[in-house]
Structure formats: C-alpha cells, structure tokens
Amino acid sequence: MRSVGVEEELLLVDAHEGAPLAVSGAVLAAADRSVWQRAGTSGRRDHEFDKELQREQLEFATKPVTEMGELQEEIVRIRREAAHHAADAGAVVAAVATSPLPVKPSLNVGRRYRWMGEQFGLTAQEQLTCGCHVHVSVASDDEGIAVLDRIRPWLAVLTAMSANSPFWQGEDSGYGSYRSRVWNRWPSAGPVDIFGSADRYHEQVRAMIDTGVLRDEGMIYFDARLSASYPTVEVRVADVCLDASTPVLLAALVRGLVETAARAWQEGRPPARIGTSLLRLASWRAGRSGLDGPLLHPETMRETSAEDAVDALYQHVCEVLKEQGDDERVREGIALLHERGNGARAQRLLYAEGQDLASVVTRCAELTIKP
C-alpha cells in the first residue's frame, strides 16, 4: 500500500487578541530545547517543525504512514506539540489558512527568503497563507508524471472541501478559500498542462528555473508536482483544515487518486484532455464557492452542485478505497463535511453568532488541537 504523509502550516497568534505574532523563531527554539532535554544532547534538531516564509507561521510534516488512523493520531499529536511550544513563546496555533484579522506579515530571516522578498515584492510580503500538502509515494518519476497528468481535473474539488480562509485583512473576502487566490499570485502556481513523460517534466522545470524568475526547484508551485525531496507526488491545493480529521480525509482521497491514476496508466488509458484554462476556472470556482455554492464537474467542466462534484470524486476512487480499507472513513468524512461544512463555513458561523474576528481566531485555536 502506498505511504502517505501530510505537511501543514499553522498560524501563530495571540491567545487573547487573535492577531498573528512573528514568533516562529522562538517556537522553533522551544521545540529544539524539548528535543535536547529528552535526548540529553545539544546542537541537533530532531523534531517535525520548520519555519516558513513568514515569521507568523509554523510548518510541520508527519512521518509517512500507510494507515489513516495512524495519520490522524500523528496530526493531532503534532498539532498539540506545536501548541505546547507556541505557549512558551506566548502564542497559540490556529489552523486557519489566512488571518481573519489585519496583519502586516514579517518575512523570515535567511538568504532565500530575502531573495524572494526582493524578487516578488508585495506578492512575497503579503503571502501569509497556510496550506496542507499531501505526499503519496510513487515507484518512479515515470509513474509520478503519469499520475500528475491524470489527477488534474480532480484537484479543484479538494480545494473546495478544504476551504478554510473566508476572511482577509479584517474583511469577508466572499471566497471559501481566499488563500487559493492569494497563492496563485506566484508565477509558477496553479494548474499545468499534461507533461506526457518524466523527461518533459524535468525539462520544463529546468527551463523555468533557467529564466531566473525562480530561484530553485522548491519554487515550482504547481497544484501537484514531483517532490524535490521525497519519492512522492505532492498535492498542494488544500487549505490547512480546521478539524484534524479533514486532512486525513483528503489524504485518503489523494492516495485513491494516485492509485487510480497509476492503474489507468498501466492499462494504457490516456489522461483526460482538459485544457489548463478550464482547470484554472475550476480552481477559481472552488476557491470562490468552497462547499457553499456550485463547482465545475471534474469530468464535464460544467457547473454542478458541490455535493455532485464531491460524489464524482468519490465514485472515481471508490474501488481503490474499498481495497485499501479507507472507504468507510471517507464516506463518513464526506457526510460529516456536507453536514457541518468546512472551515470556511465554521468561521463564518462563529462570526455570525456575534463573535468578533478576534474571538473567531481564538475559538479556531481551540478547535485546532481537538482530537
């Protein structure tokens, strides 16, 4: 069975006011101290946390696993550890994909981040967004590209399911996932054409870096890509999710997509020839609607309900889900998502109940570490 890992980015905020705090360095130092105290060593970091572009956020990565129950335990554990280390820095962690409150982000230190700030200006300076990336193992780059070419039409549905960024700079953006719109300001972000082979993929990546616009392979921000560090396909379209069970649902669906696509390739079935311009419209529609409006059907690219689009995704991968023992978890997760809504709906409901945005953030911080 293919292994799966998840990367999440969390917002560091004031426990009472909800405003983002530029304390990632202090949080990482607290994580370092915890490791040293346990191991009785110094000068060596061995934990799941890392810095990100802005000092108001913290990133973590789970270990690769094959069982979704184990993945959920990992996410809950690491989120709680992040909250513990954040408390040492006078902050809490919130799994929200954009800050509901106004913020002027602070670029992290380091040559790479400084280069990005100089190269991209406001795009980099304003880029305080928190995503969720799912890694699924592949046997080779050839298999990985065959997968990337075949999962393209389905990725926008994952954006809609994960949507958790309705507010931006103190205002309701009108979007379920405004993070997805802000993220797509990067010149390498978004849907891409069919590659056809691993050689073509790597040629395209090299050509993009050779332009000088991008610094390195880490700045290839395709919706889905071959990981530069692991033998995986990395799907990057999701907001960080408020409920810890939602990234597990996404991970199960992504693994189902990868396995379904790999089998189609092995059987000689070609990818759907859907143009990138249509995929960009599907991506925009998903960011705008979340699960509270229409989406584009992944197979027809015609408007349909969110329920029908999600069901189409489920039907596409259900055979694999049943084989891998994930079917019941996925069906229950989808039903719960339709009933309760995603993070965007949860944030808006909290705000509609009369809570101010600061209270929305602090309540989301509480929900972040719930099992």
DSSP state for residue 54 in the 8-state scheme: B
Beta-strand (E) ranges in 15-104?
49-51, 57-61, 92-94
pTM metric for this prediction: 0.96
Place of tokens 């489920």: 314
Q: Please calculate the CA angle 102-108-109 and round it to the nearest 5 degrees.
A: 150
Q: Indicate whether 66 belongs to any domain.
A: no
Q: Could you tell me if 105 and 125 are in contact, meaning their C-beta atoms sit under 8 angstroms apart? A: yes
321 within domain boundaries: yes
> What CATH code is carried by the domain that includes residue 117?
3.30.590.20
Q: Is residue 297 part of a domain?
A: yes
Distance of CA 207 to the CA centre of its chain: 26
Expressed as residue numbers, the domain containing 307 is 103-368
Q: Would 93 be classed as within a structural domain? A: no
Place of tokens 């990336």: 133
Give the end-to-end CA distance of the chain in Å, rounded to a whole number.
26
Considering the domain boundaries, does residue 123 fall inside one?
yes
For 309, list phi and psi in degrees, rounded to 5: -65, -45
d(CA 300, CA 5): 31
**Domain presence at residue 304:** yes
**Number of domains observed in the structure of the chain:** 1
pLDDT per residue as tens, the chain (371 positions): 999 999 999 999 999 999 999 999 999 999 998 887 776 655 455 789 999 999 999 999 999 999 999 999 999 999 999 999 999 999 999 999 999 999 999 999 999 999 999 999 999 999 999 999 999 999 999 999 999 999 999 999 999 999 999 999 999 999 999 999 999 999 999 999 999 999 999 999 999 999 999 999 999 999 999 998 899 999 999 999 999 999 999 999 999 999 999 999 999 999 999 999 999 999 999 999 999 999 999 999 999 999 999 999 999 999 999 999 999 999 999 999 999 999 999 999 999 998 899 999 999 999 999 98
Give, in order, the Cα–Cα distances in Å from 209 to each of 203, 282, 306: 10, 27, 37
Which amino acid makes up residue 41? T
Residue 150 included in any domain: yes
